[in-house]
Structure 1
C-alpha cells in the first residue's frame, strides 16, 4: 500500500499520480487543483495523441486519484478556511451594491466577490433583483482572478446558456442559515447529489442525516436546502408557521451535531428522532 501524497499550495502534481487514462480522456479536477497548461503529446500511433497536463495545488491536503472517473482532487482538513475556487457553489451575502455589481461576502477572511446585477436568469435593467445589504444569494464562483488586485466574480446563471442552472441559483428568501465546517459542507453536497447513500469511492459513506430528515419531515411539508462550499447551509421549511421555525432549527441542530461529533449512521438516526422530539416537531 502506497503512502498518501501530501501537497501544499503551489506544489506541482507529480505526473505519476495522474489517472491511468488522463492522457486520452478529459481530466476531471476537483477543488484544490488548478490547470496551468495542457499540451498534446504525440504517441506511437500517427493518428492519435495524448495530452500532457501541468497541475498545481491551491489548497493543502492529500491528493486523491479517481481512476474510474479520470479525476483528481484534494482531500483537505474538514475545518480549513474556505478559499474561493472556480465553479464552487456558495451562499453569499450582499454587502453593498454599485451601479453594475453587488459586492458579496462569502467568508470573513476572503475579499468581497462581485456579482453582476444582470447575472440572473432573465434579468434586465428593469427586471433585475433589487437586493440590499444582508440579502442572501445562491451563486456559482465564475472566476477567481489571477495576480494582485484581481477580483473574483459570482454568477447565478450558466454563462453558456444564460439560464439558471439546476439547484435553485439566485436570491434566497426566508429560511435560516447555519454554519458548518467546510469539510462537512462538501460531504453534504456530495451526499445530496449522490443517487445512493454511498457513492463509488465511498467518500460519503455513512452520511445519512439528510435522507433521515427528509423521511421524518415529509408529513409536515418537507424542507428546502442549499449548501455552499463556503460552509453555509440555508434551510427553509415549506409548511409555514411556528412548526416551520421549529423544524428549521431542528435541522440546523442535527447538522451541527453530526459535523462536530462525527456520528455513525445509527447515531444520526437516533439524533434526528431525539431532536425532533425535543423540538416538538410532529413526524
Structure 2
C-alpha cells in the first residue's frame, strides 16, 4: 500500500539493488551514521513488490527530471555538436549529437529546430542542466528512442502519463482494438501519437484529454461510450 508523505520524511528503503525514483534523495553519511533516504516533495510513497524501487507519486504541474525516465522533447537550439531540448522542466536539457545509436563525429543526426525526440534522462541534478540520450544505455541500441516524425504531440498531466505507462490501464488497449496506432509516452506530460488517418489521431488525442484526471477524468465505461461517438 502507498502512504502519504511530506517533504523531509525519512523512508525505510533498503535493498541490495536499491533505485530511487522521483521525489526521493539520499543524504550523505555523517560520522558513523548510515545514509538516510528522505522525500523531497509531497505525495504518495510507492515501491516495487521486491522493494528495490521507491518513488513518490504526485501530480505536480511542472516536470522535475529524474534519471532513467523517458521524455518527449522539442529541439529549441543547436549548440556545437549537440542540441538544447525543451522537456517541460525549469531548464532546457542537453542532448549530445553522439547520444544516438551508431552516431559518430562524421555521422550525426541532423535535427532541426522544432523536431521531436523521444529520449531518456541520463543525468538529473539540482545544480546542473539535465542531460538526455537517445539509446539504451546497456545495449547501445535505439530501442525506440530518437527522432519521432509525423503524428501529433498531446500535452496532458504528469499523472496521465504515468497511468498510460501502466500495462493495466485501459485506454491504449481500448484504442488499439479499434484501429492501429503508435504511441510514445513521456514522463514529462507529453504523449506522441500516430495513426493511418488524421481523424484517428484526433480521436486518440480527444480520448487522452477526456480520461486525463486534470481533464474529463472519464472511467473505462464512459471512455468506451465517448469513443463510440467519434467518427473513426
Q: TM-score, normalising length from structure 1?
A: 0.73
1:204-248 Cα shifts (integer Å, max 9, x gaps)? xxx31111100011xxxx1110011110010111x3xxxx11100
Match of 1:56 among 38, 43, 56: 38
1:12-27 matches, cutoff 5 A: 12-15=9-12, 18=13, 22-23=14-15, 25-27=16-18
Report the Cα distance in structure 1 between the residues aligned to 2:221 and 2:2, rounded to whole angstroms: 31
1:221-240 matches, cutoff 5 A: 222-237=180-195, 239=196
Cα pair distance change 1:69/1:116, threshold 3 Å: same
Report the Cα distance in structure 1 between the residues aligned to 2:130 and 2:113, rounded to whole angstroms: 19
Aligned to 2:220: 265
Runs of 5+ unmatched residues, structure 2:
none
Q: CA deviation at 1:65?
A: 4.1
Match of 1:215 among 177, 192, 206: 177
Cα pair distance change 1:215/1:160, threshold 3 Å: closer
Match of 1:179 among 136, 155, 165: 155
Root-mean-square deviation over aligned CA pairs? 2.4
Cα pair distance change 1:104/1:216, threshold 3 Å: same
Report the Cα distance in structure 2 between the residues aligned to 1:122 and 1:3, rounded to whole angstroms: 42
Aligned to 2:81: 100
- Structure 1 or 2: larger helix share? 1
Report the Cα distance in structure 1 between the residues aligned to 2:151 and 2:6, rounded to whole angstroms: 39
Give the SS at the match of 1:151: strand
Runs of 5+ unmatched residues, structure 1:
42-51, 198-206
Determine if contact 2:5/2:39 at 8 Å carries over to the other structure. no
- Structure 1 or 2: larger strand share? 2
Determine if contact 1:27/1:71 at 8 Å carries over to the other structure. yes
Determine if contact 2:154/2:191 at 8 Å carries over to the other structure. yes
1:133-148 matches, cutoff 5 A: 133-147=113-127
1:182-217 Cα shifts (integer Å, max 9, x gaps)? 110111112xxx3xx3xxxxxxxxx31111100011
Give the SS at the match of 1:185: helix
Aligned to 1:203: none
Number of aligned residues? 228
Report the Cα distance in structure 2 between the residues aligned to 1:212 and 1:159, rounded to whole angstroms: 32
Q: Please say which structure displays the higher CA radius of gyration.
A: 1
Give the SS at the match of 1:256: helix
Give the SS at the match of 2:46: strand
Match of 1:151 among 107, 129, 135: 129
Report the Cα distance in structure 2 between the residues aligned to 1:142 and 1:180, rounded to whole angstroms: 23
Determine if contact 1:136/1:171 at 8 Å carries over to the other structure. yes
Report the Cα distance in structure 1 between the residues aligned to 2:3 and 2:62, rounded to whole angstroms: 22
Q: TM-score, normalising length from structure 2?
A: 0.88
Structure 1 runs (4+) deviating above 3 angstroms are: 2-5, 35-38, 65-71
